[in-house]
Structure 1
Amino acid sequence: MDILSNSVTWFADNQDLIIGYALNIIFAICTLVIGMMVARFVAGTLHKILGKRGFDSTIVDFVTRMVRYVIVAFVIIASLSKLGVETTSFVAIIGAAGLAVGLALQGSLSNFASGILIIALRPFKAGEYIEAAGTAGVVESVQIFSTTLTSPDNKFVVVPNSAILGGNIINYSRKPTRRIDLIIGVSYNADLAQTKAVLESVLNNTKGILPKPEPTIAVAELADSSVNLVVRPWVNGPDYWPIRFELMESIKNALDEAGIEIPYPQMDVHMDK
């Protein structure tokens, strides 16, 4: 009876304090739940708005993800404030911890900063075929710390953003047309006018080669074993590899039919008696 009586007395004496703590806990939970819902709603709405305005999906995903993280961080701090936690000192602790983590994760922060620059400068976007950081593939997405690619042989490649931004970036999809550069070697005994005519005939009979700019056929080099000619037609970007493969086969067959020799590497040896 004494314990029960003391408990009732203590509750009566601290009723206001208990109710205050209970209300603070309820408010903190409500703030956290509502804040998470707001973060999800704002991120979803922003994603739809940016998508309807034609922004690249990579930029849309990156921006909405960052906005959601920022809102969630503010919601957590507000919830802790409702529980009576001194948020000023809490923010200071987070700042100090962030500095320590930042020093330990300099590479990750470099990738983060590079990701922001990639989003801002837009040297490439999702769906484009690029070559960067020693690898090539179709861009799937630009994430906070890395960029994901799908290689031509269907490999999933993850490349750190700092590695991409720290080197040359070749975007094969940005321009609508590409030039095919072929070097064709023929024998020194070959008639160059006839050779050019054969090469020009192959180009004229190959579908997909653009009339403008005009293809280039010219002697590029008098090499050790052959006369090297350059063949440079222009094609639409998606047609580059199919037409390149077709041209290599067609040129070989056409030169064989014309009796024009494609020589092997050779060396003349002169012996003194």
Structure 2
Amino acid sequence: MNGRMVRLSFHTNGSNATGSLNTKSVSQSSINRIGVIQLSTMAFLLMIVLMMAPGCTKTDSTYKNASVPSVSFNGDAYAYLESQKGVFDSLLKALARVPGLIDSLRSSQVTFFAPANRSFEIALFNANQARLDSVPQMPPLDINTIDVKLLDSTLCKYIVRDKIVSSDLFNTLSDGRDVATIKYSYVMNMKMLFTNASGYVAGGPTLINFSDRNNSIFTRYWVTTKTSTSDIVTSNAVVNLLDVGHDFGFGNTFIRSVNRR
């Protein structure tokens, strides 16, 4: 009776020992597999980080702090306009009608915002459309028939006193810098315009917003255009080329003035 009990006890203890060994073996195997998976995951993530690192070397400050490139022209502002064949024909014709403006562009220290031929085409089309719709109808208008005094005051809006390059606007207020025009001291506004490039905010070319304030301190009444090229430095001036979509005379103000009976 006691021997049978001993054999049974021994058998039971042996089974427990074997079960314990198998459990330890399974647990160790699972731990090893988890360790391998974790190491593989870490290696994969490290590889991704190393691959992305070269693309992260450029920072926003690299672009934001970049200086604005300038273009130099060997001659005065008026000579520059003449050198751009087929671009400023209308502007040259308008300047020739107003005494003194060509001399200012040849010798005065100024900043000039140059409207291209297309700007005059837009303005004359809109003005003539309004004249056609008027009652009674008004005859068509062109550069040669615009009132000289009106042409003078309008052209002077594009000629600002002193040489101002875009970098001079870096530290201006959020509404830009007010500037006075030649002859009439009419107040215009210049504001730095940062464009985007290749996914970088403010990393593109630096342009200028040029605004007719319409004698108002409220920006909602301003008429704004922008440059397509800035900081062309001549012997006496800084020339900025306006976007071809600009409406010469800054829109409705010019149309109302030119069509006044």
Say yes or no: TM over 0.5: no
TM-score (norm 1): 0.27
TM-score (norm 2): 0.28
- Structure with higher helix content: 1
